[in-house]
Amino acid sequence: MLKMPALDEGVLARRDRIVADLRAIVPGEGVIDSEAGRRAYECDALTAYRQMPMVVVLPSTTDQVAQVLRYCRDNGIKVVPRGAGTGLSGSALPLGDGVLLAMGKFNRILEIDYDNRVVVCQPGVTNLGITTAVQGDGFYYAPDPSSQIACTIGGNVAENSGGVHCLKYGVTTNNVLGVELVTIDGEVLRIGGKHLDADAYDLLGVIVGSEGLLGVVTEVTVRILRKPDTARAVLLGFPSVEQGGACVAAIISAGIIPGGMEMMDKPAIVAAEAFVHANYPLDVESLLIVELDGPAAEVEELIGSVEEIARAHGAVYARTSESEEERLRFWAGRKSAFPAVGRIGPDYYCMDGTIPRRRLPEVLRRMYELADSYGLRLANVFHAGDGNLHPLILYDASKPGDTERAESFGADILRLCVEVGGVLTGEHGVGVEKRDLMGAMFGEADLAQQQRLKCAFDPGGLLNPGKVFPVLHRCAELGRMHVRRGELPFPELPRF
Amino acid sequence: MTETFKPADAAQLREVVAWAAAEEIPLDLAGSGTKRGYGRPVQARHAVDLSAISGILAYEPEELILTAAAATPMAEIEAAISAKGQMLAFEPVDLSALLGAAAGGGTIGGALACGISGPRRVKAGAARDHLLGFHAVSGRGEIFKAGSKVVKNVTGYDLPKIFCGSLGTLGAMTEVTVKVLPAPPKARTVLLFGLDVAAAVRAMTDALNSPFEVSGAALLPASIAARSAIDMVRAAGASVVALRIEGTPASVAARCSGLRALLAGRAPDEELHSMRSRRLWVEIRDVGALLPDAAAALWRVSVPPAAAPAITAALPGDWFLDWGGGLIWIAVPPGTEAEATRIRGAVAAAGTGGHATLLRAPASLRAGIDVFHPQPAALARLSARVKESFDPKRILNPGRLYAGV
């Protein structure tokens, strides 16, 4: 059972008053306190965890956000920011005694500036919405999470979202140049902008990926890129996972950074083929989609190199897309892998660890051993270029104990990722899902230092408490130093 | 400074910092010290020489990562990765010559702590985009780690970002893990001659907005171009726009001709190949050959690229543009606050944001004016709190970034 911060009974007792005060800041339908209205916000895409928020607030101006946050600070009320609620780690899980600050009304693109290659927009604009706004002129926004049709840029900033093209083009943090951030004190800060580097401390760098724990973003400036001339994909099948993995390493060793490089194992191939009929070969153990994009001359050259490398590494199936339609069909199976696996589930739980790629065969073998010992089925899709695994655990939530087994299995997988030198999450965030596993990756000193940084932004600990960090400490406690005055030890230390 | 400590490893460094924290004694941290002249002068009682904390710890080309002790010489890193056909894609700037040190003497930790990126920033990202993880000793005298040793990670706050450019004011890094990428086998540079600033920035914008994947875009005004060691640039007798294209041979050739066709008719053009192209971008990256007056104060101005024509029109002294206009290097006689006011005034007047940093000047001038761009009060307060969250006694390079930080 997930342990969340203790409910503040004092706040709950003042709920009616708080709702009235918030209505004075955000009039009309911007404050939702009815049970039915709040129900829509009780979870994000990690649906295993649900909690009704005390009240939902939908501000429409930066000034309202500032007033709401200042009010919450003055009255000791917790705040959970939320974008579209597509996050997979429970970062936007409400708190029963907290305000859920839903940023959906911030849905306007403010400026398209081709001369500086940026788009300035409000955080509630969808990821795909940015690309849609500029694609007519041949541009796009590079990070492309699978949920891009629904997820918002504000949520992407909070989670530092990735996508299939991030090996070559970077994740959110590499593509955001500035934000307007409202602090819990209600101060409106402009951090970064249209210029290319930070003036002093790179605060933007820690705000991106901070999962709503440092402030609320009310405006985002993103870099846009010119769409590559050409994109072609190669579909490669291998008789073993090892050979597929070795081919990936060889492609990168040859100096090729593909636009996308995805791997699927047999259970995922079979499920995807049954679902979308992408013409995937069914007699292979691993399938690789390698997409080359860029100037036509370069793509032509690189496709030849990739095909050659694949043959040398034992590929038993190779097909290069000859049309845009065929390229999209190659991707259709991969992009629908989650729902495809979901069909044979009936439920699935998606994990998100990253490992050093060379450990892939061992990690896959041990994951399947774990699957056997838990009596659960598993399918694997994998951002092969950067080592980001998405194991999908199949379970049946209607069976008693199955959900708990799936969660326990998932935690074992993530611990395995850390054990081989990897991390708990490559692109989905920690949220509540991996919160209690943070100790597997970070020591106490590491976590305390991260929390001290939070204290610099939010000394009262009111922004999204209960997420990311397994144990909540008061800032005063974290700031205390145990100093021992005296002579410098290490008398042998060289000094001049 | 009374004493210099030279710890051999992170454990010894921790002892030094813990002692200094207990005694509230400020420390001046440096790797090889080649960039000591950058930032505000530090008033420290003791110095810490980190140069013994050196050596490549792990290099896995096919995983695209390299882990090294923080004071490993950059030359050693470059040698190791270029032997495998890889590079640090942010194109680290060698400030040594500019700051009066021997060229090529810097460390990887120093390059990251200064966070200054080279011409390829426009395509490949900044220094901060390539630091994946680190170990450090905080100003509390505690060893901690952050980030990771894989190329894709969102677990916990992205502290590597804030350590880049922090100039040793948050912690002393002892180990860094960086992302390394394949180095392009071939590079060429398309040159355009005689464009005025507005037309040059327009051409650079059109090039960067083209599908030809331009990885460097600079404008050298005529008087600056005349200082280049590259004959075709030096002899131009006019301003020179340089547009770099990197990749495989066939791709580079095709993209260069595509780019020249796109820009045809705007100005006479030429192409620089291989060695001469490479040397021109080293000149642009390291600045000193193009702005050689060692007595001049040197400013580094980061702005939205399209603002460059308006800002340069209001500037004193010699200047040239990198990053398609987004980076302005300016050399002015080291006078008083007047130049700072004028340069920052020009950035403010453009009204589109950005900042100006005094990269090199006599210590007396750096002590007297804001070396880094003054921040609005609320942001300055947050920066001070961030500093204290790592270094509550303010003992690590105190005042190097801002007075009191």
Mark yes or no for CB contact A456/B389 under 8 Å: yes
- Letter string b/e over residues A331-360, b meaning 16 or more CB atoms within 10 A of that residue's CB: bbbbbbbbebbbebbebbbbbbbbbbbbbb
Q: How far apart are CA A470 and CA A480, in angstroms?
A: 20
ipTM: 0.97
| B10-59 per-position pLDDT tens digit | 999 999 999 999 999 999 999 999 998 999 999 898 999 999 999 999 99
Determine the pLDDT at residue B146. Answer: 98
| B96-107 per-position pLDDT tens digit | 889 988 888 899
Instruction: Identify the burial level of A401 via C-beta atoms within 10 angstroms of its C-beta, where 0-12 means exposed, 13-18 middle and 19 or more buried.
Output: exposed
| B330-343 per-position pLDDT tens digit | 999 887 788 899 99
> Least CB-CB distance to A422: which of B7, B150, B352?
B150
Q: How far apart are CA B199 and CA B206, in angstroms?
A: 10
- Asked if pLDDT for residue A486 goes beyond 70, the answer is no
Q: How far apart are CA A109 and CA A152, in angstroms?
A: 12
Residue type, A154: G
Query: pTM for the whole thing?
Result: 0.97
| Winning range, highest mean pLDDT, from A245-254, A290-299, A309-318 | A309-318
- Letter string b/e over residues B102-125, b meaning 16 or more CB atoms within 10 A of that residue's CB: eeebbbbbbbbbbbbbbbbbbbbb
Q: How far apart are CA B356 and CA B346, in angstroms?
A: 10
Determine the pLDDT at residue B285. Answer: 98
Token pair, residue A461, equals 């600990």
- Look up residue A152 and give its DSSP letter: B
Q: Taking a C-beta distance cutoff of 8 angstroms, is the pair A427, A89 a contact?
A: no
pLDDT band at residue A415 under the 50/70/90 scheme:
very high
Q: In A97-171, where do the E strands start and end?
A: 98-102, 109-113, 118-121, 139-140
Phi and psi based region of residue B49 (left: phi greater than 0; alpha: psi -120 to 50; beta: remaining): beta
Containing A297, the helix (H) or strand (E) segment is: helix A296-312
Containing B389, the helix (H) or strand (E) segment is: helix B377-390
Determine the pLDDT at residue A11. Answer: 98
Search chain B and give the residue with CA nearest A453. B389
Determine the pLDDT at residue B386. Answer: 98
Of the residues A169, A197, A207, the best mutation for testing chain B's interface (the one with the most B CB atoms within 10 Å of its CB) is A197
Q: Could you tell me which of B342, B328, B347, B245 has the C-alpha nearest to residue B290? A: B328
pLDDT band at residue B300 under the 50/70/90 scheme:
very high
Containing B173, the helix (H) or strand (E) segment is: strand B171-179
Half-sphere exposure of B207 (CA within 13 A, CB side): 36
Contacts of A210 in chain B (CB under 8 A): 157
| A165-223 per-position pLDDT tens digit | 898 999 999 999 999 999 999 999 999 999 999 988 999 999 999 999 999 999 999 99
Q: Taking a C-beta distance cutoff of 8 angstroms, is the pair A358, A305 a contact?
A: no
Query: Once rounded to an integer, what is the mean pLDDT over residues A326-343?
Result: 89
Determine the pLDDT at residue B326. Answer: 98
Mark yes or no for CB contact A438/B129 under 8 Å: no
Q: Please, what are the domains in chain B?
A: 1-183 (3.30.465.10), 186-286 (3.30.70.2190), 297-377 (3.30.70)
| Average pLDDT of every residue of chain A | 94
A62-A66-A72 Cα angle (round to 5): 145
Determine the pLDDT at residue A336. Answer: 86
| B247-292 per-position pLDDT tens digit | 999 999 999 999 999 999 999 999 999 899 999 999 999 999 999 9
Determine the pLDDT at residue B338. Answer: 85
Query: Once rounded to an integer, what is the mean pLDDT over residues B356-372?
Result: 92
- Asked if pLDDT for residue A345 goes beyond 80, the answer is no
Determine the pLDDT at residue A484. Answer: 65
Q: How far apart are CA A234 and CA A259, in angstroms?
A: 12
Query: Once rounded to an integer, what is the mean pLDDT over residues B77-100?
Result: 95
Determine the pLDDT at residue B405. Answer: 84
Of the residues B49, B150, B395, the best mutation for testing chain A's interface (the one with the most A CB atoms within 10 Å of its CB) is B150
- Asked if pLDDT for residue A122 goes beyond 70, the answer is yes
Nearest C-alpha of chain A: how many angstroms from B145? 6
Q: Give, in order, the Cα–Cα distances in Å from A359 to each of A310, A369, A418.
A: 19, 16, 11
| B188-239 per-position pLDDT tens digit | 999 999 999 999 999 999 999 999 999 999 999 999 999 999 999 999 999 9
> What does residue B285 show for φ and ψ, rounded to 5 degrees?
-65, -50
**End-to-end C-alpha distance for chain B, whole angstroms:** 20
Q: Taking a C-beta distance cutoff of 8 angstroms, is the pair B30, A492 a contact?
A: no
> What does residue A135 show for φ and ψ, rounded to 5 degrees?
-70, -25
Of the residues B153, B252, B344, B387, the best mutation for testing chain A's interface (the one with the most A CB atoms within 10 Å of its CB) is B153
Contacts of B213 in chain A (CB under 8 A): 294-295
Q: How far apart are CA B347 and CA B332, in angstroms?
A: 16
CB atoms within 10 A of CB B275: 10
Token pair, residue B19, equals 């002692």
Determine the pLDDT at residue A496. Answer: 64
Query: Once rounded to an integer, what is the mean pLDDT over residues A386-393?
Result: 94
Check whether the bond before A346 is cis (ω within 30° of 0). Answer: yes
Q: How far apart are CA A98 and CA A11, in angstroms?
A: 9
